[in-house]
Amino acid sequence: MVKIAHVVTTLYEANATGWVTALAEDQLYRGCQVHLVVGRNASPQLMAEKRAQGFGIIQIPTLRKYVRPVQEIQALMDLYRLFRAERYDLVHTHLAKAGVIGRLAANLAGVPRVIHSVYGATFAPTQSWARRVLFRDLERLAGRATDAFIFVGKELEEAYCQAGVCPPGRGQVIYYGKDLSPFLALAGLSPEERLARRQALGLGEKDLVLGNVSRVVPWKGHDYAIDVVGALKESFPNLKLMIVGDAKTPSEIGFKERLMKKVRRLGLEEDIIFTGWVKDPARYFAAFDFYLLTSMPLEGVPGAIIEAALAGVPVVGFDCFGVREIPGVQATLVPPKDIRGLIAALREKLRYLANGQIHSSDNHHSTVQDQMRQQFDMGRMVRETWNVYQHSLGK
């Protein structure tokens, strides 16, 4: 029986958790012994659910989402002791922080095989020089302890190879899987049906609606989104921004509170709507005129942009890894942090829309839908990941 540990910093209802548990469920079905090793920030309810499904759940309180140097050393030692005691055949790390600490600990403990999934870049041109170099060098160090890399996008893989993090031949692109059906259903909605969906959310027929669906964390760039609305509000009085998502950890909650104070200070309380976390965001996409992408270029392939492409919602925003890898996406992109460029691009699009010209989408065509289904199929993601395991284990 193969004994596997998946290491993640957080365990909440989120995309990354869904991908990790989908892999773990498949491995459990194949007869493997599977442990989920999670950090301090984890949902007790979700941990209980996974225990009931047959997973071993091991929580490491010193493993936190955000950087605290003393805690990182302790987390490294705690993971080292765990790996030495459990004697896993394979450790699979996910996300940035658990990826670096988990791989180093696995290497020190003598774990035979170590795999790392990269969902977004830890280093990017928008970071300060010192931070970017530090994170790149940490990734290089952890890369030496990595038998195989799994990247969720081609541009992401290229960035890691060019930075000397992933050696040639050791990486593979496996696009993550998503349930696309709620968004496929939106592509063919008539203008009348979209209006009804919009009105059900309390929006008016004349409102110009920007959408942003993401966790409320700094690198999603909500500060920029608020600035955009503030700059365009005088020209477009009916402009609205819907931020669909929420903060999870205490520091993220503090960030959201600062955003809401900024909204009040700018007098935009009626124009910027925080919905909080929603289980089914698809109904919001039916109300969006444009998706406002303000994320930093740390994404692998932005999940919300996949959903926007399927729903026929054009994207205006900062250039991110992976956007060009999405079939059928309609995107107008400016360099990251170019707030003036973003405002200018969006002003042109909104003026076009305000004059009664409706954007069109070809994403109801079966060819684009078939491409999306194949590229972002959960079953394909699970199978291809298992093949990486088999190759790594020499089976």
- Specify the pLDDT at position 360: 53
Extents of the domains making up the chain: 3-177+377-393, 181-372
> What is the dotted CATH code of the domain comprising 181-372?
3.40.50.2000
- Specify the pLDDT at position 69: 73
- Specify the pLDDT at position 357: 60
Cα dihedral angle (299, 303, 304, 306), rounded to 10 degrees? 120
Do 3-177+377-393 and 181-372 agree at the fold level?
yes
- Specify the pLDDT at position 118: 95
> What is the dotted CATH code of the domain comprising 3-177+377-393?
3.40.50.2000
- Specify the pLDDT at position 395: 65
Along the 395 residues of the chain, how does pLDDT read in single tens digits? 899 999 999 888 777 788 999 999 999 999 999 999 999 888 899 899 989 988 999 999 999 877 777 788 999 999 999 999 999 999 999 988 899 999 999 999 999 999 999 998 888 888 888 889 999 999 999 999 999 999 999 999 999 999 999 998 899 999 999 888 888 888 778 888 888 999 999 999 899 999 999 999 998 999 999 999 999 999 999 999 999 999 988 888 999 999 999 999 999 999 999 999 888 899 999 999 999 999 988 788 999 999 999 888 999 999 999 999 999 899 999 999 999 999 999 999 999 887 766 555 555 567 888 899 899 999 999 999 999 999 988 86
84-115 pLDDT per residue, tens: 999 999 999 998 889 999 999 999 999 999 99
